[in-house]
Structure 1
Amino acid sequence: MILIICENILATKTVALSLGANTEAVSGIYTSDTVTVANIPPRFIRQTPLCELADGEYPFMPDKFRMSVTMKELERQLKPLFHAAGEVVFASDGGADAQARFFNICRHFRVGCPRSRMWLTRLSYGAIRGAFHFRESGRHLHRLAQTGLVSKGMDLMFTYNINQTFLHIGLPEYDLTRQEAIALDYVGDLTGRFDDFNGIPDGHSIRVNVNGGEGFESEAVWEAEEDALAVADEIPVGETVSATLTVDETDRFNIRFHTLLTLQMDAFNNLGFMPAHTLRLAQSLYDRGLISSPLTRCSHLPEKLRGHIRTVFPDTPGYRWGENDATIDHHAIITLRAIDQELPEKEKQLYWLIFNRMKAVVEQQPSRKYATVEFKIGEAVFYRQWELTGEAYEVTETGTFQTGVTIADAAVYPCDAPVAESNAFTDVMCAVTSKAEYVDEMMHTSVPYTLETGDYGSALDSLIRKGLVTLDGGDVYLSPEGQYVYDEFAGHEFAEMLLTWQFEANDLYQGDQAGRSVIEDFSGSLLCMIETIDPEAGE
């Protein structure tokens, strides 16, 4: 008998129906002659919080972590199923955190038979049967579980010890996770840079108006106004100067399908939904089989889904099918079928937001054309760039051409240096996520999307609910309480330390080191962090 484990009741029912397990033995367990599908919620095994193990010890770095079963009746029902199983299959859309939960379940029931994994990216009958037929097995799943276990261990140690540190120095407990600490540190740095801005222009630029009224900005910015004026005096007003017209074609700025991050950003900007709420709504739509898994950082689709997309959009000129990082198990968020049931209004709004993004992707121009005119006067470079649309897109060829511009006038203006950062909520979500994912992308750890370590939108959402970050008119700032916490972090690169150790945990997936050594070394770094904040720790 093959035993399949799911983590919520709707997925369990759908998987059971797809594989012909039509008999409900007891609530949440479905059987056939060859397959049994059981629902084991994530809360079935509880990681014992360190506050229950430490007995007041601080700092506390445990040698082992403890777990306990919270659903004794379900445990009794599952025991004979695990003992009779010839193979145990985990069916989920989760990453390392989910695989770690499955590892703990198998260890609890002392599973000795083969184990495998079904990636439930789409809860449709055909996709489920395909995932079952092509289910994965191998050492890489064990390594994925180790990544999840080590990450969870680091979270438990960090939250307990930072709580105790705050209490010891006179701050409240905030139950900060590592993700929240990283996000708080980023918002604090950003708030400090905005506070330091004194409203005085950083420099001066030159604006040149040419024939036709187009305005050209100087590429350079001069700190002293007299230096800019000296350059402006050399500009030959009324004369025609040589210029270069460059027309480029690119798909770099094309709209992409939704990832969890861009869905959270889109839902906040267009619907006013906070990130954690968006995730809950998306998870509900996924459980109903209306959308693919929201747990993804991939913005592309594999060639195998071209047929599905074309059942909805027969012509897809705006999306370039071909080689990308998408697979049938890991791809962007898409709708799977039309709404055929009554949905809560907010779920319906999110469904159409996803659908309309798909429509925009497939119907956009396959590429964009940008024209740039540039000319030099002495050493000063002036330029203007714009996008070619409509008829201009169709008739303008790409390439570099020589032209001329007649200068009408020129003037010096005070200006600020180009702003590279923003404290808009969605921009901060994007920036923190990009910072966290940068090393993994460079080193190609290839860990499947893991909610507990990848969802920085919900981490920022949590900081707002805890009163450490303020959301004001779409912009985020540290609250006074958040400033007190940030002051303990500032200047010590704690966020970089936490991100470094998360990379080390992710690197376990590649099999380059042991989980125990990562936990031990993280403990040492965490102890240094605690002693930096609280020099009296351990006394």
Structure 2
Amino acid sequence: MKVIITETTAVASAIARALNVNNKVSAPGVFYDAKTAVITVPKDFIAPYGVGVLPGKDALPIVPERYSYGLRVTRGEPGRNGISAEDQAYADYIGDLIRGGREVVFASDGGADAQGRFSNICRFFKVGAPTSRMWVTRLEKKALKRAYETRVRGRAMYNLAQSGLVAMAMNEAFKYNVTEAYRAMFPRLVDPVCRQDMLILAVANSYLRDDAAARTAHEVVTTHSLMVSGEVLGQTVKFYPTTTYASKEDCAKAHEAITTPGNLTSTCLETDDEISEAPALYTLATLQADVWSRLSMPFAKTRDIAERLFLDGLISSPFTNNPKLPESMRGYILKRCRWAKGYPFAADEEVPHTHGIITTGKKPFMPDTDTQAVYDIIAERFDAAMTGATVSTELVIGMEIDGTPFFGTMPWFCCDEVPSSVEIRITGKSCFTHKSKAPEPPKMNDLLGVMATLMRKLSDRFNPGMPFSADSHDVTDALDRLRNNGFIIDVCGEPVISADGRLLLATFDETYALENLLADQVEAERLYANRKMSKGGAKLMAEFGKRIYDKTEQLINDSRLFRTTPDTHVCPICGRHSVLRYPRVMKCHVCGFTMPLQFMGHKFSEKEIHHLLTHRYTSTIPFVNRRGHEFYDAVVIGKGKGLEFAPVMAKIY
């Protein structure tokens, strides 16, 4: 039996129909017969436990050697593990099917993040059979059959999973340590501070600063000119001179010299073809930006609607940053749109994964207003892209008034030859003043476009061929978290970094964010796109772990972030009266000795702190291990600059 794993029931149902799998549902989201089983495993079903959610993980900084994962934890569920009985029963049921497969196929439109989740699924269910990958871009029967027949195997998918797992681990370590370090400073944090949030905030600050400087440096230039209106071949045409006037007085004199009404003969006639290039197909970022500018719809809502349209089989996958269509789709497109013969299809190598967003020909059935509006915008762009460039012909008409050339244009639809001259009847004249306009400040959709373009160009520059991954290429969630936490505010549609956002950048260091976080993303993607140039996942995580450990330690000991009070104790390492008390730690600002005030589920009392700093050890006190079990042990000052449990030989209890 071949096992196909998907992340949504809609995709599982579509694949089951395409491959003629028995549609008898054995469990919600599971379809199987004697040859094939199609199983739904939701995105969060097998998930990382995260850093700091287990008992004993409460002292900062925390950089675990291994990152745990397992069945999702349901809040409020009784029992030690917090796993619901329904989830456990479903895992037992699909586990037997998955382990019994001769080949396990992952069907998804996601990139490294999705492949990393599939890797966790395989390890959790102890899959020993060969694995492969279906790139799902459309839920039509032929498209799914082709995706199944051309599924990808081999080392490349392992490398893609490693890229996703490394990014996942870096996100977890950064999210817990940095969020907890800033929680005392920003007690009203709604969402955690994630790795991509800091990167986007730093890039946005640099972009907005440069934009403001450019608008400030703009010089206003004032010019004066004339406009003469006339009738040509029964149509109204506006004529403008080829020169402008430096002063308003000179313009007024030229205006008085023109006699109206009057009749003139054209001095030149010629046609000019205006070519309007066809727009590119939508990607997720361009769709969100366009919908925001036209409907003021939040970015996340647009993404969710587009995903529902995809799962309903109405459009192709919206999770893409490639607006092109591959050559292999030429027959499909021309069968639907016979007028699209001039569309520039790209080579299949240029579009190896997801392509530009297209409609499938099906119409939404009784949609709500927002869903219909988003679908109409996608359909309009698809039709315009398939139609190709449009050509409009204009007739350029020239005349002279007191030796000054004037020119005007009018639409020209005639197939006959252009006449040698035409009569122009002057009907009016006017003066006007023009001032050069300073560039407008960017809007929220402009910021989204800049951020998404940067992420895509970063991948194209250093790791070409990297598929769209939501955790790095979709900046929607990062922008939403920044807005929810009040670091970026929306002022009449314009993004502004708030005082809290500037304080966050000042304490975290914008240069550090731009240099290190960008480098981390490039190195994580390089595990798949350019493995030979990669330093390897283990080395990358070791370097990242050291950096985030040092950065978190710097943050929790930063007097700009936290109120400090001098302590009366002597440092047990250097013997100086240089111990400062922070909300989470006590630290010697001379030698660097650090003692967490909470360790392995136990908050030290004042008596225990005094005994530890004075005598370098404590009595036996209760702690909680990672499995939630309570145990008793003594704590001593370690060989380095922290705490550790007392050696067995030194214990007298």
2:200 & 2:193 partners in 1: Cα distance? 10
1:103-124 deviations in Å (ceiling 9; x for gaps): 1111112211110011111011
Aligned partners of 2:224 and 2:434 also within 8 Å: no
Aligned partners of 1:151 and 1:502 also within 8 Å: yes
Alpha carbons of 1:308 and 1:271: their partners in 2 closer, same or farther (altered >3 Å)?
farther
Which residue does 2:67 correspond to in 1? Answer: 65
Aligned partners of 1:94 and 1:451 also within 8 Å: yes
Instruction: Say which of 105, 108, 122 aligns to 1:106.
Output: 122
Alpha carbons of 1:304 and 1:210: their partners in 2 closer, same or farther (altered >3 Å)?
farther
Q: TM-score, normalised by structure 2?
A: 0.67
Which residue does 2:451 correspond to in 1? Answer: 432
Deviates most, 18-27 or 168-177: 168-177
Alpha carbons of 1:436 and 1:217: their partners in 2 closer, same or farther (altered >3 Å)?
farther
Aligned partners of 1:300 and 1:325 also within 8 Å: no
Report 1:72-111 matches (<5 A).
72-111=88-127
- The residue identity in structure 2 corresponding to 1:484 is L
Residue 194 of structure 1 and its aligned partner are, at CA, apart by: 6.6
Which residue does 2:30 correspond to in 1? Answer: 29
Report 1:39-438 matches (<5 A).
39-53=40-54, 55-70=57-72, 71-167=87-183, 173=189, 174-192=191-209, 202-203=218-219, 254-316=278-340, 319-323=343-347, 326-327=350-351, 329-339=353-363, 341-365=365-389, 391=412, 419=439, 422-438=441-457
Residue 211 of structure 1 and its aligned partner are, at CA, apart by: 11
Which residue does 2:524 correspond to in 1? Answer: 505
Alpha carbons of 1:330 and 1:167: their partners in 2 closer, same or farther (altered >3 Å)?
closer
Alpha carbons of 1:314 and 1:412: their partners in 2 closer, same or farther (altered >3 Å)?
closer
1:271 & 1:163 partners in 2: Cα distance? 34
Q: Structure with the greater relative contact order (CA < 8 A, sep ≥ 6): 1 or 2?
A: 1
Q: Does residue 487 of structure 1 match 2:509?
A: no
- The residue identity in structure 1 corresponding to 2:63 is M
Deviates most, 338-347 or 93-102: 338-347
Residue 69 of structure 1 and its aligned partner are, at CA, apart by: 1.4
1:46-93 deviations in Å (ceiling 9; x for gaps): 201211256222122111100121321111102221222100000111
Query: Between Structure 1 and Structure 2, which shows a larger proportion of helix residues?
Result: 1
Which residue does 1:375 correspond to in 2? Answer: none
Residue 272 of structure 1 and its aligned partner are, at CA, apart by: 2.0
Which residue does 2:539 correspond to in 1? Answer: 517
Aligned partners of 1:429 and 1:457 also within 8 Å: yes
Aligned partners of 2:139 and 2:316 also within 8 Å: yes
Alpha carbons of 1:531 and 1:249: their partners in 2 closer, same or farther (altered >3 Å)?
farther
Deviates most, 131-140 or 173-182: 173-182
Alpha carbons of 1:369 and 1:185: their partners in 2 closer, same or farther (altered >3 Å)?
farther
Q: Could you say what secondary structure the match of 1:315 adopts? A: helix
Q: Could you say what secondary structure the match of 1:52 adopts? A: coil
- The residue identity in structure 2 corresponding to 1:69 is L
Q: Could you say what secondary structure the match of 1:116 adopts? A: strand
1:520 & 1:307 partners in 2: Cα distance? 49
2:386 & 2:104 partners in 1: Cα distance? 40
Q: Which segments of 5 or more consecutive residues in structure 1 lack a partner in the other structure?
A: 219-228, 230-236, 238-246, 371-385, 396-410
1:369 & 1:185 partners in 2: Cα distance? 47
1:352 & 1:216 partners in 2: Cα distance? 43
Which residue does 1:4 correspond to in 2? Answer: 4
Deviates most, 323-332 or 472-481: 323-332
Q: Which protein shows a greater Rg?
A: 2
Alpha carbons of 1:300 and 1:190: their partners in 2 closer, same or farther (altered >3 Å)?
closer
Alpha carbons of 1:413 and 1:117: their partners in 2 closer, same or farther (altered >3 Å)?
same
How many residues matched? 491
Aligned partners of 2:275 and 2:389 also within 8 Å: no
Q: TM-score, normalised by structure 1?
A: 0.80
Residue 41 of structure 1 and its aligned partner are, at CA, apart by: 0.7
CA RMSD of aligned residues (A): 4.0
In percent, how many aligned pairs have the same letter?
26
Aligned partners of 1:433 and 1:454 also within 8 Å: yes
1:201 & 1:34 partners in 2: Cα distance? 69
Aligned partners of 1:5 and 1:88 also within 8 Å: yes
Residue 348 of structure 1 and its aligned partner are, at CA, apart by: 1.8
Aligned partners of 1:20 and 1:32 also within 8 Å: no
Q: Could you say what secondary structure the match of 1:41 adopts? A: coil
2:216 & 2:446 partners in 1: Cα distance? 25
Q: Could you say what secondary structure the match of 2:52 adopts? A: helix
1:125 & 1:276 partners in 2: Cα distance? 29
Q: Which segments of 5 or more consecutive residues in structure 2 lack a partner in the other structure?
A: 73-86, 229-238, 247-253, 255-271, 395-407, 417-431, 559-584, 588-593, 595-653
Residue 267 of structure 1 and its aligned partner are, at CA, apart by: 1.3
1:528 & 1:368 partners in 2: Cα distance? 63
- The residue identity in structure 2 corresponding to 1:63 is E
